[in-house]
Amino acid sequence: MLIASTFALGLGASGAVAAGTDASAKTVWVNPVVKDYGRMNPVPNGALQPDPDKTWKVVFDVNNGSSDSDGVNSALWHVARAVNVYAEAGVDHEHRKFAVVLHGGATKDALSAEAYKAKFGQDDPDTKLIKELAAAGVHFYVCGQALADNGFTPDQVSSHVDVALSALAAVPVLESEGYQLFEM
């Protein structure tokens, strides 16, 4: 039970309530940087706060295309939460070096709005989120092999996303540059 509760809380499950808390207490949600996604609850005296004077380099390995109720990729929503969490802890833009490597089921999220609509016949629900994340300094890469596997071409990729040789190379290259891997 403790493991399941800890896991649910770590993922930010909205229905999870820690033992000993008042479920009727009003939860405060803020979005300090990414305004429309990735809300977070400030925990000013929480353990393991990131040092605002340290540079935090994280690569998010996103290979899942699952969506939340609004249709956005839930892993990308959590990248927005990470940006907001670090910002709320005092880590400024210059000390947040976040990268996202898209592949597998998330490859389609790298497409431009026009290419997505042409391929799937509807607007891409992730376009606005990716734009906000890029404005917050998150660097996006898409696996060139996954593009080919899915029948996409580099010219169909959003201007906010760089085409990497492969996710198989991109993640280790970023790790060799000091990025910590966070699998989504």
Residue pair 182/61 in contact by the 8 Å Cβ criterion: yes
Closest by CA to 172, choosing from 143, 147, 133, is: 143
Residue 4 maps to a domain:
no
Predicted pLDDT at 17:
41
CA 173 to chain centre: 19
In the prediction, which pLDDT does 23 show?
55
Looking at residue 6, its pLDDT comes to 35
pTM of the predicted model as reported, rounded to 2 decimal places:
0.86
CATH of the domain at 117: 3.40.1260.10
What is the rounded CA–CA span in Å between residue 114 and residue 138?
A: 22
The C-alpha atoms of residue 88 and residue 125 are separated, in whole angstroms, by 26
Sheet with 161-164, edge to edge strand ranges? 161-164, 139-143, 96-102, 56-62, 180-183
Residue 144 belongs to a domain: yes
pLDDT score of 90: 97
Cβ-proximal residues to 34 (8 Å cutoff; 6+ apart), any chain: 80, 83, 84, 129, 132, 133, 136
- Condensed to tens digits (0 to 9), the pLDDT of residues 41-75 reads 999 999 999 999 999 999 999 999 888 878 999 99
Q: What pLDDT sits at residue 7?
A: 34
Q: 37 and 72 in contact (C-beta within 8 Å)?
A: yes
Rounded to 5 degrees, φ, ψ at 84 are -65, -40
Residue 111 DSSP one-character state: B
In the chain, the number of structural domains is 1
Residues of the chain with pLDDT under 70: 1-24
Full residue range of the structural domain in which residue 116 is found: 32-42+54-183
The answer to whether the CB of 17 falls within 8 A of the CB of 23 is: yes
- The residue to which tokens 């927005």 are assigned: 80
The per-residue pLDDT for 104 is 97
* 18, 106, 129, 161, 166 from 86: Cα distances, Å: 22, 24, 18, 22, 28
User: In this predicted structure, what is the pLDDT of residue 67?
Assistant: 84
